[in-house]
Structure 1
Amino acid sequence: MKRHATRMTRTKRHSARTVLLAATAWALAALFLLPYLEMLVTAGRPADQLRDNGYLPAGFDWSSFTSVWSDTTLGQNLQVTLIVAAGSTLLVLAVALPAAYYTARVRFRGRKAFLLLVLVTQMFQPTALQVGLYREFFTIDLLDTILVLVLANAAFNLAFAIWILSAYISSIPVELEEAARIDGNGRLGALWRVTLPLALPGVVTAVIFTFIAAWNEFIMGLTLTNSPDRQPLTVGINNMIGAYSVQWNQVFAASLVAIVPVVILFAVIERHVVSGLTAGSVK
């Protein structure tokens, strides 16, 4: 009887702790979601109520979600951002995969120095390099093009992709590749049929982080381009803020449009991202 009472007490404590943790998690989630709720409310606020003090307007007007497409260059900026994010991600993947595979499988002289150099390049901030980048791309006549944004974003995200992929490939037993090569596959065949499928979570992690970084990039888009139809979405939204008047309902509507694709993409592949980030932590 006494043992049963002790067990009941432990069960109640466990239930209370679970409820407390869940309530805390929901409270933190609500705290982080409040700015986005404010964006949604402002996007639906009529233009004549933008300066009102009340949190909620007298009535909602969602026309800003349609007018922002016709009154601004949002559609062109969105297209540019999609091209830049997809192009830089593919370029990073094409360069990072061979580099990560070689550093993970081959113990060549200067390997540690190479990885250290890759890590050091990750420490550079795009803002500190804008003058040099501008001069370099001006010399080769690539300013104000979509290609310059693809190359710049790929360069700044390459180091992170190499580190993630190298750690994940290192956690895959090399004996699996050796068995595939005994069965008649070459090095490329073993990489394609064995290593790459097993390293898929790491690849997905590199892809999503590179894509999000390129999607949210602002400084390089502002510096290296000046034509409104060739600027990314972040710069296009910034251009909507005028010197004397700002249609905040349209600004927040455009910001929500920019957020939704990335949120959906991250929600779909979040499981792969978590497993990719923990690659190599357990041997």
Structure 2
Amino acid sequence: MSEQFERDETATIGGWRAAAADLTHCLRFYSRLPVPPLPFERDAYALPSFPRLVRMIPLGGLIIGLLPAALFGLALLLDLGPWLAAMLSVSTMVMTTGALHEDGLADIADSVGGSTREKRLEIMRDSRIGSFGASALFLALALRIGALATLASRLDAGAVMAAILIASSLSRTAGLIPLVFLPPARRDGVSRAVGQPARETFWLAAGIAGGLAVVLGAVLGLPASGIALMLVLSALAGLALTAFASRHLGGQTGDVIGAAQQVAEIAALIGLLTAIRP
């Protein structure tokens, strides 16, 4: 279905309209934001085709981070304190995305208890959450909140808001690494249905994400060393999850992509923190 949609869409729109259609599909897939159909979209709510969608994921991630970043800044403006501001920001991100990536992280963590590849994939399809998954969720949320709160004690509000936006963009781009470099672990599932992007397209997306990070960070006062560490550590986190999935599952799934996003976001925020002295 996604391949047919891609052919139809390509045949009818091009240029900026194709880019706009890809961006809206990206936002609908990655978030619960109310994105209305564009006049020239033939099937606005079809499963997106990732071979084309990839180029817009860095910008889509940036847009998804706008509301959490704005709420963080507003909370500090109202003197609610860095910890409450961080909790409100992370909560808003979870609600904006419908806990899409957190669900993947929990499923991957629960699969650690499986003794075989088949058992691990079966566990990941179970809607129930186990102790490993619950622990992973708690730790991921705590690390994100703690990182943002600590950043707020070392940087001004605008710089921390930039960090939220950059981490949102970089982590979703890093989350593509398993999709690009591993085969699907299942014969069915979302990761197979959306298609495998070309590596050249992924490198283009990575370049866009890096460019957005450098420009936004420079404008809003992040140190160059901090931006560099965000870039490097988010990429390394995506690569680490890819290597783990290859050994653990023999391929990638939607849950692997979600887990890669989570660890990449945490790595990016901690990378920035290490570059900033108290």
Place the TM-score, normalised by the shorter chain, in its bin: 0.3 to 0.5
TM-score by length of 2: 0.34
- Say which one has the larger Rg: 1
TM-score by length of 1: 0.33
Highest RCO, 1 vs 2 (Cα 8 Å, sep ≥ 6): 1
